[in-house]
Amino acid sequence: MVTTSRFHILGAGAIGCLLAHHLRQANYPVTLLLRNSESLLRFGSANSITITPTFSKQSGVQPIKTKGVEAEIVDSKETLSKIEHLIVTTKTYDTSLALSKVKERLTSNSTVTFLQNGMGVYEEILNKFYGKADQSEIPKFILGTTTHGCFRTEPFQVTHAGFGRLLLGAVDPAQRNTSQVQQTMKAFSQLDLEVQADQPFEVLRAKLLEKLVVNACINPLTATLGCKNGILLENEHSINLLKDTCYEASQIIQAEVGKTVTNLSYENLEKSVFEVCNATLDNKSSMLQDVSAKRKSEIDYINGYLVRLADSHNLPSPINRMWTQLIKAKTK
Ligand SMILES: NC(=O)c1ccc[n+]([C@@H]2O[C@H](COP(=O)([O-])OP(=O)(O)OC[C@H]3O[C@@H](n4cnc5c(N)ncnc54)[C@H](OP(=O)(O)O)[C@@H]3O)[C@@H](O)[C@H]2O)c1
């Protein structure tokens, strides 16, 4: 299929490169927006993205090289063309700064798809960059969530270790049928990544909130104890901590969405937390990896987001507040 819709990817790390590879496989033009000239030089010498799928023995572990991906520096003064489809795959805490570099290239005809863990980035970007903007100047926003698991081994080389799913939906239901949103959804639905594109926003939001709670329970606990996910299930005290964190999170979420959204009840959320823990016994959570490497973590967009939500409903959130402070104390 020949198409002219170009996808720009802001955040050429593990998820960004995985998407760039799959978009190229589906014949879409792709441009990586790189941080600086060193990164552009590194890409120039590799001149390709390499994906190694290790999730299935059947697919083997042969690296797959993708050529034909373009790259440019994110704030290059020379590159002023407007962006049609932007996919944002930076870490949540880097997004605002990264997006500020391309904001001038976005118009109301652009789509901006956030594919990140945690919540709150979309609201942050809207307030920071479009608080006073006329509706006609604001891009069309899409949120997504994925259970694929991948990591970078070298710049532009990614191991795709866990094959999952990817869900997407437009934030504003009124924009769902616009040609721009439909083009983005069509491209995603052609990717060999088990994509469920064009979800109604309420469905997507429920998934985002469910994943938020799962991460809010498992991530800070594994990062604090320095253990793999499965260890949490071997000890009654860590099980109690999972349950207590989940209970508080469920109360906050019910205040936000209403008690009638039954798939976000405490019972269902607790079931999800233990199911994910059981399915990922041998995994090191991303927060554990961040804390171990003394990197910044995404806690402000996970437990920190729940604290902000609780504050907005005048609800107490001592457990999620404690996790937020504890992880920040360990990483800063
Ligand atoms: N990896 C997974 O399996 C997975 C699964 C589900 C969800 N997620 C979520 O997806 C998001 C991305 O995760 P990831 O694992 O792909 O992270 P990652 O490998 O660290 O990639 C992030 C990329 O963003 C780039 N970046 C940061 N600031 C930038 C700036 N100002 N300008 C240009 N580029 C910038 C980084 O550039 P440098 O290389 O120059 O630092 C890096 O390449 C996170 O929210 C994560 O929680 C990841």
Q: What distance in angstroms lies between residue 94's CA and the mean position of ligand 1's atoms?
A: 8
- Assign 77 a pLDDT band (cuts: 50, 70, 90): confident
Q: Does any ligand 1 atom lie closer than 6 A to the CB of residue 22?
A: no
Q: Does any ligand 1 atom lie closer than 6 A to the CB of residue 12?
A: yes
Mean pLDDT of 139-156: 96
For residue 59, pLDDT beyond 80: no
CB atoms within 10 A of CB 75: 14
Amino acid letter at 239? I
Q: Which residues of 298-309 are buried (b: 16+ CB within 10 A; e: fewer)?
A: bbbbbbbbbbbb
**Whether 221 contacts 238, CB under 8 Å:** yes
Residue 118 DSSP class: S
Of 84, 43, 274, which Cα lies nearest the Cα of 181? 84
Q: Which helix (H) or strand (E) is 244 found in, with range?
A: helix 236-257
Give me the percent of the chain exceeding a pLDDT of 70.
Answer: 97
Q: What distance in angstroms lies between residue 20's CA and the mean position of ligand 1's atoms?
A: 13
Radius of gyration of the chain (CA): 20
Neighbour-count burial of 226, counting CB atoms closer than 10 A to its CB (0-12 exposed, 13-18 middle, 19+ buried): exposed
pLDDT reported for residue 255: 95
Q: What distance in angstroms lies between residue 65's CA and the mean position of ligand 1's atoms?
A: 20
- What six digits make up the tokens of 320? 């999620």
- In ligand 1, the atom with minimum distance to the C-alpha of 151 is 1
Q: Which residue's structure tokens are 């440019």?
A: 72
Q: What distance in angstroms lies between residue 91's CA and the mean position of ligand 1's atoms?
A: 5
- In ligand 1, the atom with minimum distance to the C-alpha of 146 is 6
Give the closest residue (by CA) to ligand 1 atom 28.
94
Q: Does any ligand 1 atom lie closer than 6 A to the CB of residue 152?
A: yes
- In ligand 1, the atom with minimum distance to the C-alpha of 34 is 33
For residue 298, pLDDT beyond 80: yes
Please provide residue 170's backbone torsions phi and psi, each rounded to the nearest 5 degrees.
-75, 140
- In ligand 1, the atom with minimum distance to the C-alpha of 92 is 45
Please provide residue 238's backbone torsions phi and psi, each rounded to the nearest 5 degrees.
-70, -35
- What six digits make up the tokens of 199? 């979800």
pLDDT reported for residue 258: 85
pLDDT reported for residue 330: 92
Report long-range pairs for 275-280 (Cβ below 8 Å, ≥24 apart): 276/214, 276/218, 276/229, 277/218, 277/229, 277/230, 277/232, 277/233, 277/242, 278/230, 278/233, 280/229, 280/230
Of 146, 213, 200, which Cα lies nearest the Cα of 173? 200
Q: What distance in angstroms lies between residue 15's CA and the mean position of ligand 1's atoms?
A: 7
pLDDT reported for residue 281: 95
Say how far apart CA 171 and CA 109 lie, in whole Å: 15
Q: Does any ligand 1 atom lie closer than 6 A to the CB of residue 290?
A: no
pLDDT reported for residue 24: 96
Q: What is the dihedral of CA 236, 237, 241, 247, to 10 degrees?
A: 50
- Assign 45 a pLDDT band (cuts: 50, 70, 90): confident
Bridge partner residues of 149 (DSSP): 162
pTM as predicted = 0.96
Q: Does any ligand 1 atom lie closer than 6 A to the CB of residue 330?
A: no
